[in-house]
Structure formats: C-alpha cells, structure tokens
Amino acid sequence: MRAANSPRRENIPRQPLRMKSGLPIEPFLNEMQGEVRIPGSKSITNRALILSALTQGETKLKGCLFSEDTEIMCNALDALAIPVKRDINLGTICVQGNGGVWSQAEAELFVGNAGTTARFLTAMLCLHPSGRYQLDGTIAMRNRPMQGLLEALRKLGAKIICHSKDGHFPFTMETSELPGGIWEVDASQSSQILSALLMVAPLAKSEVKLHLKGETVSKPFVSMTLKMMQQFGAEIESEGLAETRISNTARYKSVGNCWPVEPDATAASYFLALPGVVGGEAFLPGLQREMLQGDIRFDAILKQVGYKTHFIHKGIGSTAQPDDLRGGEFDFNAISDTFLTLAAIAPLLKGETRITGIAHTRKQETDRINAMATELRRLGQRVEETDDSIHIFPNRRALHAKAIEGVHIETYDDHRVAMSFGILGSLDLRGDGSPWLTVLNPDCCSKTFPDFFEKLENLRQASVIE
C-alpha cells in the first residue's frame, strides 16, 4: 500500500541484504501479488525425528525444515549413534531407528535455544538403561522452563543434578529406563513438557497412565503429538488431556518411505498478514484447513480483523483492504506463537487491540510480551502489559513521525520478533519507497525460517510494476 498521493516508482537500488547494523526493510511500492512457499514445520520435523529414532527400521521424512533448531536435533541424534542422513536439496531426512535402543551411553549434548530439542531429547535419554548425559543450552535456554519435566523424570528414576539453578540447564542425568504406571507431570509452563513424556511412554516397561496436574498451554501442540504418535503406531486412550493411557505393547514402527512434513503454519502467519499491510493477495500452497498444526487457526483471527481468507485444495489465500481492518480482543492461548504477528501490525488497525492468554510466552526465546511492548513503544504506540496480555492503542500519526526519523527494532535474538516487524516495515510509510524500519540481528531467523527476508524481498520485487 502506497502513502496517499505517492507516485508509483520504478525499482530503486537496494542495500545489501545483510548489514552489521541490521537489515533495512524495503517497503512495497505496490500491492502484493504472489505465491509464497513456506518451509516445513519445525514442530513437526523435530517430533518426527524423535519418533523415527524410536521406531524399528529406517524412516524417510520429506518436506523437512532445515534450520538451526532442526540441525541441533539431528546433531544430538548423531551424537547418540542414531544414524541421520540429511539431503537439503531433496528436503529429506532419513533416520535409522532401533526401537529406542542406542549404543552411546555417555555424551555431552548441546540443545541451543531449541525448546523442542531440550524437552524431547531429555525425556528420550531416560529410556537408556545405564546412560550418563551432560546437557546444556544457550544463556536464553538456561532461563526457559524445564522444572516440570525434570521433576517428573526424577520421580520415574532418573538422577538429575542441575549445576546452576535447580530445574534449569545445565545438568547431568543418569538414566535407568522408564517404568510404567502412573506418571504425573506439571506442564503449566510449556506443552512441550507434556509432549516429551507422551512420546517416550510407549517404550516404558509397562503401560503408562499419564496424569496432567492442572492445565497446560498451547493445547493444539499436544493434540499434534498424539496424532503423530498414532501415525507411528502407538495405541492411546485419552480422556481429554488430563488422563492419557498409552500401551507399551504397541511399539512404534517405521512409517516407511517419505512421511510428509506439513508447511509451517506459524511461519505462514506472517505472509497471510502481509496483504493487510501492503494490500493485494497472498497465496500459500500446501496449507490446509485440516492440519496437524493448530496454528492454522490464525486464519480465523485474520477474519475477525477483516481479512478474507479462503482454502482450496492447493493451499490458502489471503486478501485485505488495509483501510478496513480493525482491532479487537483476542485469546491467543492455543496459538500463542502467532500473537506477535498481530501485535506488530496493530498500529495499523482501527481501534485498540488486546491479546490475552499469553503469559507463558514470557518464558520462551525471550519475554515476548515485554519485547513486543518495548518495540511498539519505540514506534510511538501506547502499550499496556499484564502478566497474561498486551493491549495496544494505535497512533498512526506517531507511527508516521517515527518512520520519518527512522527506527531500529531490537529482536532479542527472537526469530518471531524479527519476522513480525519485518511485515510492518513493508509499509511505505514515508511515501517515497525508502526504508524506515531496520531489523537488528535478522540472522536470528535461522532458528526456524532461514530465508524469510529473502522471500519477503522476492515478493516486493515481484510487486514492482515495470
């Protein structure tokens, strides 16, 4: 969308895509029209890697995500002598599983800031009858929730010594397999804790009845885990999420050649939102209404805001008239990874935007509520926070004034902060096509979407009218 009365312009010279000071976002000069292929889901890829490692035989996964988080998981499996073969060109990963048995009884493992690897791998290691493993992550990972998982594993016989703060990385664990029976877990701070225990339960010594103490967050991710477990051969009886019974007689089996990984529905949220910033239409092939990923429900949020989205057999399309979009109150507890997408474009919406149900995001890659509030204030917006919510009062005049000055957005080494504000920066607020918003440390997107900004730039160039 061009500023009022601004002329259409020919393509202007671009600065290099990577700069030490950050990446200036080149605004769109015209409405977008284009197709965006979204990479494979990180959540599915890392779950599938664990499940494949626990099967008997080789499993080939296709459409995988190749990023920092999935590479960390592959490296960990390699370190345990579980063979993993990657083919980036074909988008496939082959895992040679051995029914939850591996030869490497001792290892030093680095989980980076990958929450899925941190939780899933820790639980999997406890299947070894006599293992001794040292685990650590980044400084950010050392502050992320692990307490609920470590407490549960200690009750099941694992000896875990935390070397800095109890319930956090780094720690050393001695393992002696996992008994069956009743497993109790507190997954109130991360659904990945519950998913981690669910995935290893079929390999316990006897049947498991997993009891969830209290509630958990991001419940669709647990549903994803259960569906994938069943696809890999597990037998599950579930009474909601509070009580789940998992048989130990139905072990995982290879799903054969080329098990498909869905495109990442969370990553799709940025490009689905883009037409509301620059106008036009986006089409994302491979995204369907019925998916393993709950974050596909972001399309319902967009409809409430005023977008038009439509599913066809080949994918999902999104269109919007930017002047017609409105804020409102939205509960993002089930799809919290996408709340940043809406928060970043809230300054462009008519009326206030209040996002709730996101307390747990304060303990993810960064304190995401505070990060978004801080950067929106940098853009001249009034923002109110609670433990569980963010409330944005849009001020278009102040945003325009900040754009004239130029704004550098801190990303806190959080890929979702970077990508969300990359969408906002695509608006030609100055009216002359010059960048006004610079994303610092854009390479943090390598965690889940290494070529995000390249795809955004390709769309921008495609919108230029010769």
Write the CATH number for 432: 3.65.10.10
**Considering the domain boundaries, does residue 276 fall inside one?**
yes
Domain boundary among 240, 260, 280: 260
Does 55 share its domain with 199?
A: yes
| Residue 231 to residue 353: CA distance in whole angstroms | 39
Residue with tokens 């919108």: 463
Cβ density class 94-112: b for 16+ within 10 Å, e for less:
bbbbeebebeeeebebbbb
Residue 465's pLDDT is 62
Domain boundary among 260, 291, 306: 260
Q: Which of 265, 279, 284 is nearest to 455 (CA)?
A: 284
The residues that are catalytic are: 337
pLDDT exceeds 90 at position 256: no
The residue that leads in pLDDT, 217 or 12, is 217
Tokens representing 135 are: 């685990």
**Considering the domain boundaries, does residue 457 fall inside one?**
yes
Angle among Cα 222, 202, 226 to the nearest 5 degrees reads 20
What is the distance, to the nearest Å, from the Cα of residue 374 to the centroid of all Cα atoms in its chain? 21
Report how far apart, in Å, the C-alpha atoms of 217 and of each of 118, 268, 269, 414 are: 17, 21, 20, 20
Give the percent of the chain with pLDDT over 90.
Answer: 92
pLDDT exceeds 80 at position 21: no
**Alpha helix stretches (DSSP H) within 279-395:** 298-305, 339-345, 368-378
**Considering the domain boundaries, does residue 1 fall inside one?**
no
**Considering the domain boundaries, does residue 296 fall inside one?**
yes
| Residue 343 to residue 354: CA distance in whole angstroms | 9
Region 327-342 average pLDDT: 98
Does 275 share its domain with 234?
A: no
Residue 464's pLDDT is 81
Tokens representing 70 are: 């999935």
Does 201 share its domain with 255?
A: yes
CA atoms within 13 A on the CB side of 81: 9
Mean pLDDT of the chain: 94
pLDDT exceeds 70 at position 364: yes
Host H or E run for residue 68: helix 68-79
Amino acid found at 215: E
pLDDT exceeds 80 at position 15: no
Does 116 share its domain with 234?
A: yes
Does 207 share its domain with 326?
A: no
The answer to whether 223 touches 293, Cβ cutoff 8 Å, is no
Does 88 share its domain with 116?
A: yes
Report how far apart, in Å, the C-alpha atoms of 288 and of each of 85, 207, 299, 312, 448 are: 29, 35, 11, 8, 20
Domain boundary among 234, 260, 286: 260
Give the percent of the chain with pLDDT over 70.
Answer: 95
Q: Tell me which residue range forms the domain holding 241.
A: 42-260
Region 108-133 average pLDDT: 98
The number of distinct structural domains making up the chain is 2
pLDDT confidence bin for 179, thresholds 50/70/90: very high
Host H or E run for residue 13: none
pLDDT exceeds 60 at position 114: yes
Region 170-189 average pLDDT: 97
pLDDT exceeds 80 at position 356: yes
Residue 151's pLDDT is 98
Does 278 share its domain with 364?
A: yes
The rounded radius of gyration (Å) of the Cα atoms in the chain is 23
Does 92 share its domain with 34?
A: no
Does 315 share its domain with 384?
A: yes
Report how far apart, in Å, the C-alpha atoms of 351 and of each of 187, 274, 432 are: 35, 19, 27
Does 323 share its domain with 256?
A: no
Region 137-164 average pLDDT: 97
DSSP string, 77-145: HHHTT--EEEETTTTEEEEEEETT--S--EEEEE-TT-HHHHHHHHHHHTTSTT-EEEEE--HHHHTS-
